[in-house]
Structure 1
Amino acid sequence: MAHGRACAARIRELAQRAGWPLVRTAAEIVACCQVTPLRAWRLAHGWPLEEAADRLDEVCARIGLRQPHLGKAGLSCYELGKHPVPMWLLDPLCRLYQTRPDWLGFGGDYSGGEPGERPLFPVLAGPGKGGEKGSTGDLLNRTDHQEDPMRRRELLRTALAGLALGSGLTPQAAHALELLRQDAEHTVRPPALEPTTLDEWEHIVEAHGYALKTAPPLSLLGELAADFAELQALAQRGLRLHDRKHVYYLSAQLAALMGVTLLNLGEPRDAWRWFNTAQAAAEENGDRALRGWVLTRKAISGALPRIRYGADPVQTARLALRLTEQAQALTRNIPCAAHPMAHAVEASARSWLGDRPGVSAAINRARDAFARLDAEETRASSFCFPEQQMRSYFSGSLTRVGLTREAYREQQAALPLYSPNETLEPTLIRLHQAECLVRDGDVTEGCRSTVRVILDLPEERRAPILWSYAREVARSLPKEAQHTPAARDLREFLASSN
């Protein structure tokens, strides 16, 4: 369990009283607070992130190297292992903390000491390797004795044995008692997370929100899964209520992005389960705008796409309508992206029911709500509702109910708004255009356009969701056009995707 700066401060105070060298202080912080050696050495010096980053710049300037200007965020990323430390920075870091690379966690000491000699920095060897079993050095490893209460009792007795009345506590005995007190304190009052920790996670999640628009889904899935696992490890600590709610908020966002990515990869069942997880996390957090956003995402990316994979259209569309109604109720009178998005998704659900008047009414409500948003809520992030995304939803709904003239207007207005790096949504809009051609009677061009839109993409960008939309174009072909050469070519092309 990672502890806060207060825990490291207590260890520094104990070190000053006992006269420990810095290496011992850093080792104690690693063992007790479960932080990386790089962070432990900074805490052993008692420097906040910003001061350490400034001092590192001074060291680099003094020895003639360029200044890294890491700031708080950059240095914290190195400490957390988010980014590898470049080789040229190892020497300045060792100079800054007055230590050597292996004690900072970069490699190990393989020089070979005298037989039986214990390493100066045993904690870096890993849990349970700091010394011989039964030694008080094992008290530095909280994980081992927490899992075995009898072992802990034995170690505590060993540490406290042999004290003479009036002679004071030995450093080992004082440390053992301090660990015991800290355990009790962390149980009744969990430590607050460092503000920089949550700030870093907000930046990570926000970056994924943008990456969903531009990155190939398969590569994005691995990044999302790794960060979600790390965030859940953070959530499983004993956190204060405010921090716990913050972690739930970030978990809901990441879980929803996992759901969207899995859908894009053609895995609607797995996507649905991730949206359920996102909904549970959002409900634990309680933020109404977040809950509305998750419900809306669940409707458009969790429920409705299942129709393309064989789910009953009427039942599934009605489920999506219930989700959008809940989202609208939650976000009413809140100027957030989820409110106009919920009305736009309602239009999509009604299009599957063939409800033309309902589609038009929902689109008008979405426009009115969108007009009340500020610029922050319309950024090109997955957590916002940019104009091009709204028009993309309108395009699909209007196309599906045969209002092709209105659909063309939305398509023509949306496409110029996308950045060159975005491919998924613009491709969906071009497939809507192909379907509009088919519905307007130009079957040959509609079929050829569908094939051309897919083939124009690099292979790694041909996500399964695009093939499902292309099949929707094929399903829109009128009976009399089913056996035309263009229709046959389209079916053969779609069969090749399997």
Structure 2
Amino acid sequence: MTVTSTTAPDGAHTAACGRRIRERTLGQANSPEPVPHDLVELIAKEIEAHCGHRPLKAFRMATGWTVTEAVQAAHDLVERENLRKIGLTERSWKDWEAGKAPSAEYQDLLCRLLHTGPVRLGLAADYTPAPTCAGSPDGATLPAGPADAGAGLEEVAATKRRTALMLTGLALAAPATAAQVLDQAAAEALEFTRQAEASSLGAGTLDHLDLAVTDFNDAYSIKPPQQVFTEALDYRRKVDAVLKARHTHEQGRELLAYAGWLSELLAWLAHDLGSPRTGLAFANDAFIHGRQAGHGELSAWAMDAAASINLYEHRADRALNAARRGLTQAPATHPLTVRLHAQAARAAAADGDADGFTASLRAAEDAHKFLPSRMAYRFGLDPLPLADYALTSYPATACIWLERSDEARRHAEHALQIYESAPAASRSPSREAIARIDLALAHAQLGAPDDAVALGTEALGSDRVVDSVRNRAADLTAYLTRRYPGHGAAGELRERLTALSTPA
């Protein structure tokens, strides 16, 4: 059976050609399920030789995966085998298929995922001497194998590109002039390529940054915020230094994005440490770097942080502006769109705008209906639950401000249930504490001060009493003092909060 091929701009065949090879080979083998590994190997070698793809891409196509499916399979493998969390994205996978070397950790993950070794995936070289023909007195080597065939394909592609130059109109010029122009053009092309690839960025630097941001996200709810802030700021400074050094345009965009992700994290950490000015400065920095990197999602995350910080600083108008600014950047079917609409609802409530709250909350609920069932992880974290949190905890706070006590209690109870049922590695002590304080305020408004004090005490016993928790606890104690001035336990709660707010 002949496989009809089409050619991509880089000279390699399109994905459709590889799919036809896979389907033909599986059909000849009676379509076994599951597909044996040796058959996948055979298909990968044929795709590599026939289509001109690099080994990793050929192996992925032989497995029958798209890039999206391969990335998801890698995340599933990490979760299933309890490996170190990763921040793998489709961009990184495509870079590897284009020839960019992954870090040692990602190389190991690829080999685990595809059940093969680094040499077979084109990630490492094999320096074993070539075997000689048995009985050959002069030690003649065996005929060229698949690796040599791949090299031949590259030369064929290069020859086609050189031949294509003749179609540009140079053939109409005098032969001697055309030859001179072509020789000069060849020299210029080499220099263009050298300049485009010139970089002082060390091998594996971008993969290292990916893992570092993943580690910081893991540490956010576990380690003391001051420690994480100091370490993340050190990395942010290093990325700034690398941005000022020589790098390619593509590397520059990635570095801008990593700088933005670190600034987004630093914005939240500064907020936790009680410095809104610093938090907003880093949120703005993250937004700008996201715009420069062409990364709308990053810019939207930055505005999500800015909206929260402004709300805690009682700047409802600025919080609303930040949420709306973020919505211009957020993908429509992303949890961020839900969060930002919910942020706008909370900002409207803080400003006493009940109609604005209802409209924005409805928009958040509508956006939630169109979220996919699964999403790529964001630096090792699943972003989908963040939409669920926003649809429960944000309305709880908003209903407190609007004095809709029954609704506030219902939302806060639901939020607490979601937080407590999350996997241990994903739980957020500070979010749980704020949900308890919202529930406490709802009980206080409903005339149950004892329940309110009990919930407030439990919240202040959290492992992570950051500034946002203390801020909401202050709202609770202030309300209890006004509404129940003679309540002794409420006074004790206020004293405990004062002790937690006083520097050691």
TM over 0.5: yes
Bigger CA drift: 226-235 or 268-277? 226-235
Change in CA separation of 1:76 and 1:326 when aligned onto 2, cut-off 3 Å: closer
Contact 1:213 1:381 in 2 (8 A): no
Unaligned runs of 5+ in 2: 1-55, 57-100, 108-125, 128-189
Contact 2:339 2:387 in 1 (8 A): no
Query: What does residue 318 of structure 1 align with?
Result: 317
Query: What does residue 450 of structure 1 align with?
Result: 456
**1:415-469 C-alpha deviation (Å, 9 max, x unpaired):** 34333352111111111111111111112331342123213x34xx222322111
Query: What does residue 409 of structure 1 align with?
Result: 410
Q: What SS does the aligned partner of 1:476 have?
A: helix
Q: Distance in 1 between matches of 2:202 and 2:247?
A: 11
**1:212-254 C-alpha deviation (Å, 9 max, x unpaired):** 2444323322331232233223222122222111111111111
Change in CA separation of 1:405 and 1:183 when aligned onto 2, cut-off 3 Å: same
Query: What does residue 471 of structure 1 align with?
Result: 474
Partner of residue 493 from structure 1, selected from 496, 499, 504: 496
Query: What does residue 17 of structure 1 align with?
Result: none
- Shift in Å, 1:184: 12
Q: What SS does the aligned partner of 2:480 have?
A: coil
Q: Partner amino acid for 1:73?
A: S
Unaligned runs of 5+ in 1: 1-49, 51-70, 78-95, 98-181, 308-315
Contact 1:275 1:298 in 2 (8 A): yes
- Counterparts of 1:71-110 in structure 2 under 5 Å? 73-74=103-104
Change in CA separation of 1:404 and 1:326 when aligned onto 2, cut-off 3 Å: same
Change in CA separation of 1:76 and 1:258 when aligned onto 2, cut-off 3 Å: same
**1:137-163 C-alpha deviation (Å, 9 max, x unpaired):** xxxxxxxxxxxxxxxxxxxxxxxxxxx
Query: What does residue 254 of structure 2 align with?
Result: 246
Q: Distance in 1 between matches of 2:323 and 2:208?
A: 32
Give the TM-score normalised by structure 2.
0.56
Contact 1:192 1:243 in 2 (8 A): no
Query: What does residue 262 of structure 1 align with?
Result: 270
- Shift in Å, 1:76: 8.9
**1:236-288 C-alpha deviation (Å, 9 max, x unpaired):** 21222221111111111110110101111222222122112212212211322
Change in CA separation of 1:364 and 1:75 when aligned onto 2, cut-off 3 Å: closer
- Shift in Å, 1:72: 5.4
Query: What does residue 208 of structure 2 align with?
Result: 200
Change in CA separation of 1:186 and 1:438 when aligned onto 2, cut-off 3 Å: farther
Change in CA separation of 1:183 and 1:209 when aligned onto 2, cut-off 3 Å: farther
Root-mean-square deviation over aligned CA pairs = 3.4
Q: Distance in 1 between matches of 2:284 and 2:445?
A: 36
Q: What SS does the aligned partner of 1:335 have?
A: coil
Change in CA separation of 1:409 and 1:214 when aligned onto 2, cut-off 3 Å: farther
**1:361-409 C-alpha deviation (Å, 9 max, x unpaired):** 2112112112212221687838663423442222222222222322333
Bigger CA drift: 204-213 or 319-328? 204-213
Give the TM-score normalised by structure 1.
0.56
Query: What does residue 433 of structure 1 align with?
Result: 439
Contact 1:259 1:274 in 2 (8 A): yes
- Counterparts of 1:137-148 in structure 2 under 5 Å? none
Q: Give % identity.
A: 19
- Shift in Å, 1:193: 5.2
Change in CA separation of 1:382 and 1:260 when aligned onto 2, cut-off 3 Å: farther
Q: Does 1:336 align with 2:340?
A: no
Contact 2:310 2:318 in 1 (8 A): yes
Contact 2:405 2:442 in 1 (8 A): yes
- Counterparts of 1:390-405 in structure 2 under 5 Å? 390-405=391-406
Q: Partner amino acid for 1:447?
A: V
Partner of residue 369 from structure 2, selected from 368, 371, 377: 371
Q: Distance in 1 between matches of 2:318 and 2:490?
A: 33
Q: Partner amino acid for 1:276?
A: N
Partner of residue 419 from structure 1, selected from 409, 419, 423: 423
Bigger CA drift: 484-493 or 358-367? 484-493
Q: Partner amino acid for 2:255?
A: V
Q: Partner amino acid for 2:234?
A: A
How many residues align structurally? 315
Q: Distance in 2 between matches of 1:189 and 1:446?
A: 62
- Shift in Å, 1:352: 0.9
Q: Partner amino acid for 1:287?
A: H
